Amino acid sequence: MPDSPTLVVAAAIVDDLDAPTALLAARRSGPVSLAGRWEFPGGKVEPGETPVQGVHRELREELGVGLRLGAELAGPDDGAWRLSEKYTMRLWLAEIVDGEPQPLVEHDELRWLPLGDWHQVPWLDADVRIVDALAAHAARV
């Protein structure tokens, strides 16, 4: 029986949970196969922590910010987003409540993308359908 995919957690950071007009994208600095592509910041859940604890820890480590989480954006793959054979991601909408985002770990640039231009950067392939779902969600809010 194949191993279960590793759970990754991430945040779709918007300027306002109630009426989002901008989305924060993070450009990968590595590995070489992913460098220069854009993603939602986050990472692997560590043993003994819940997914929510993991997303808070990861965003503090990667961007130096504290978050207020909004709704989870459930994916089509058993409620999650299948990134590859090895990784499945859960993603929450979030807004920054503490700190100024900085590319501290794994990223070399952050960019606020205005609503309607969320596809102006080359997202990681697995994240494109999530950006589509977020844009549809933002249009309904």
- Domains in the chain: ranges and CATH: 6-139 (3.90.79.10)
- What are the pLDDT digits (tens) for 96-140? 999 999 999 899 999 999 999 999 999 999 999 999 999 988 877
Tokens representing residue 109 in the block = 């640039």
17-34: average pLDDT: 93
Query: Regarding predicted confidence, which is higher, 90 or 2?
Result: 90
DSSP-derived secondary structure for 10-79: EEEEBS-SSS--EEEEEEE--STTTTT-EE--EEEPPTT--HHHHHHHHHHHHH--EEEEEEE--BTBTB
pTM as predicted: 0.93
Is the confidence at residue 1, as pLDDT, over 50?
no
